[in-house]
Structure 1
Amino acid sequence: MPKRKRNLVFALSLCALSTAGLTIGTSAADADQRSVAAGQTAHASHVPGRPAAVLDASVTFESGVYTVSWRGGRSQITVVASNDPDSTVAGKTVGSGSASGSIRVRGLDPNQRWYFHLRRTRGDIVVVSTQGLGLVNAPNLRDLGGYRTGDGKRVKPGLLFRGDSMSDLSDSELAMVARLDLSKVIDLRTPDEVAHHPDRLPPGVQHVSDSVFDPEDPYATGVVSALDEAKTFELMGYASGGYLGMNAELGGAPRPTYAYRKLFAEIVQAQGKPVLFHCSVGDDRTGWAAYVLLRLLGAADSDAVDDYLDSNTFNHDVLVDYTKRYKSLGFTQDQADLSLKASYIHAALKAAVQVYGSFDDYVRVGLGLTAEDVKTLRAGYLTA
């Protein structure tokens, strides 16, 4: 079994077989998989102080070359590269262009994380960076910055990160994570997962253990034979049934809700400092957390779902390997398809609404967040 996906089916089966009382279903529209964004693209974050003169901006990275693009500006644009998302920090001018255009940037240190500041003479316009960090041993570790909110603000880059297990980071990858200046890492894995594959963290970063699953359940700990695994995979309705069951559990069951209550309390307490939360692969337990966080910050449901589906890109190699494994056990391609679908995250949302009455009540009652808590989150992690 591929190491990075070793507990997925155990987790799927745990949730799929324990969702009694929750009605799982989706609309026909929700059942269609949404398009997946390119893994190394990003959204722009408008810097506080002035109305945005750039309507849209993005950056892609391929074969050592960054391509920074923008459209909708009203004047000449200067692009400055920096290792810091803070617009007040000086950087290196890497190009310029007209009100709409693009530049290609070569020669930047690949072991650094780069933020591109698009400026005009009166100050910064937007800050943009790649979504993913490009870590081979933590491929789903990425920045939540750049998403637009309903009131025109954006999630600040370089402050909120979601990810997968960090136990296998190389020394150079650990150095890159250190440069994120994280205040804390919130680990949603079980104690068994943490004990067998502890995170490699920079000195001084607080590690917060916050298991979403019941650590005493044998499926959560992975104590199950290959025969049991195949049989359980069939009983739970194959990959799709497992994912629907898991997400219903994540959104509506008491144990996960308690864990997410702790997660969001930790993020509120960080008061705008850089935070990372993760599980083993970064798509399920972390996926629901990221979806809820983006919605709390004011992002549209469609953007929060797209962020969830981006795991299909970042975890592509893992998904391919795991699908091959289940096909070798006699399952069809459709049965073994472990890629994420919009209907899965909407199953979590439907369960939360079913239990609490509305998404707002899930936030208020389930997660225990007050209006002041949400205000604190937005003040710390959104542009002004």
Structure 2
Amino acid sequence: MSRHSSKLAAALLSTAVLTGVGGAGLAQAQPAVPPALAALFDSGSAALGSSTEAPAPDAPRLASIDNFRDVAGTGAGYATADGGHVNKGAFYRANAIVPNEADMATLTALGLSTVYDLRTDDEVGKKPDVMPPGVTYKRIPILSGNIDEMLGKIEKPDDARKMMQDMNVAFVSGTVEKAKFAELFTELANTDGGGQVFHCTAGKDRTGWTSAVLLTLAGVDQKTIMDDYLLTNEYVKDSVAKSIAGLKAAFGDKYVNYIPLVTVEESFLQAGLDEMAATYGTIDKYLTDGLGLSTETIAKLKAKLVD
């Protein structure tokens, strides 16, 4: 590994900015977000989903787990193609689960059944989850490829974007990734009890793909799915500002080359969705032919997602 990629990996690890790499604590400085990033942080909408009926309670906003949210969205839950809504309280997505005292009490009150940690051993070692009482913890690490080698090739922002796009393509086509996602979706389908949570380090890439697959299976339209994906930029904008400060301290003006690694952009998820469409055609074919899920498992997932 080159000296440059070693320095970059260390900076990313120290600021916890790259979901696939993991990290320790965020940089302590809290500067204003650079103006060029304002558009990124304004992506998505927190008001997606509405209903004239009394909706189920929205997922709470957690200060210590800032990307924690209900896969179904807010209000009545995201609308589906058949006129229904995605069931709230069934599946939650998150970043690393290290709650403060108040957030621990909130998580406990949700009556969760299981947490699936998608991080690598290094990521978990730096920031292990802390579980609410009675919640089952399961590890399904999802990551492959030489991250240091990929980081060492970044010389401009578009290189970083290409890295994130390739990561999402690998979620669909990578042998290791497919096996792990198959395990995850099988567990989500077959585990009974309260709500289930899946997460990685930042809750944006592996977690974002998982959520997009579930929403696609539920029959949510692609624009809503993309808007939901981009909500990460809104939920974690304070953490991203800290991460960018760490990158700027480490790399000076070159920090802009790495900004795509700490946010989400439409092209990242779209690369995975395009790969799925080109290779399998439909979500069901991706789940059956790509991941090897049985029709019974897919039916169980659908039943949990929509009534």
| Same-fold status (TM-score > 0.5) | yes
Aligned counterpart, 1:180: 110
> In the alignment, which of 269, 284, 297 is matched to residue 360 of structure 1?
284
SS in 2 for 1:336: helix
Aligned counterpart, 2:54: 126
Shift of 1:294: 0.7
Q: CA–CA distance in 2 between the matches of 1:236 and 1:178? A: 41
Aligned counterpart, 1:141: 68
| Residues 202-221 of structure 1: pairs in structure 2 closer than 5 A | 202-214=132-144, 219=147
Aligned counterpart, 1:260: 181
Aligned counterpart, 2:222: 301
Aligned counterpart, 2:84: 153
Aligned counterpart, 2:169: 248
1:283 aligns with 2:283: no
> How big is each residue's C-alpha offset from its partner over 1:268-299, in whole Å with a ceiling of 9 and x where there is no partner?
10247411100000000100000001111111
2:113 and 2:193 in contact (8 A); partners too: no
1:188 and 1:212 in contact (8 A); partners too: yes
Shift of 1:318: 2.0
Q: CA–CA distance in 2 between the matches of 1:280 and 1:256? A: 17
Q: Which has the higher contact order (CA 8 A, sep 6+)?
A: 2
Identity in percent: 27
Mark the CA change 1:286 to 1:236 in structure 2 (over 3 Å): closer, same or farther.
same
Aligned counterpart, 1:194: 124
Shift of 1:351: 2.3
Q: CA–CA distance in 1 between the matches of 2:301 and 2:221? A: 16
Mark the CA change 1:325 to 1:34 in structure 2 (over 3 Å): closer, same or farther.
closer
1:182 and 1:274 in contact (8 A); partners too: yes
> How big is each residue's C-alpha offset from its partner over 1:13-42, in whole Å with a ceiling of 9 and x where there is no partner?
xxxxxxxxxxxxxxxxxxx98973344x45
Q: Under a length normalisation based on structure 2, what TM-score does the superposition of the two structures give?
A: 0.78
Deviant stretches of 4+, over 6 Å: 32-35
Q: CA–CA distance in 2 between the matches of 1:4 and 1:173? A: 24
> In the alignment, which of 44, 49, 55 is matched to residue 43 of structure 1?
49
Aligned counterpart, 2:274: 350
2:16 and 2:202 in contact (8 A); partners too: no
| Greater helix share, structure number | 2
| Residues 52-201 of structure 1: pairs in structure 2 closer than 5 A | 56=51, 125-131=53-59, 133-145=60-72, 146-167=77-98, 169-201=99-131
* Residue-pair matches, total: 274
Gaps of 5+ in 1: 13-31, 45-55, 58-124
| Greater strand share, structure number | 1
Q: CA–CA distance in 2 between the matches of 1:33 and 1:7? A: 15
Q: CA–CA distance in 1 between the matches of 2:218 and 2:257? A: 35
> How big is each residue's C-alpha offset from its partner over 1:227-265, in whole Å with a ceiling of 9 and x where there is no partner?
x89744328944312211211122221111111101110
Q: CA–CA distance in 1 between the matches of 2:246 and 2:216? A: 35
Gaps of 5+ in 2: 1-10, 23-38
> In the alignment, which of 141, 145, 155 is matched to residue 234 of structure 1?
155
Aligned counterpart, 1:336: 259
SS in 2 for 1:126: coil
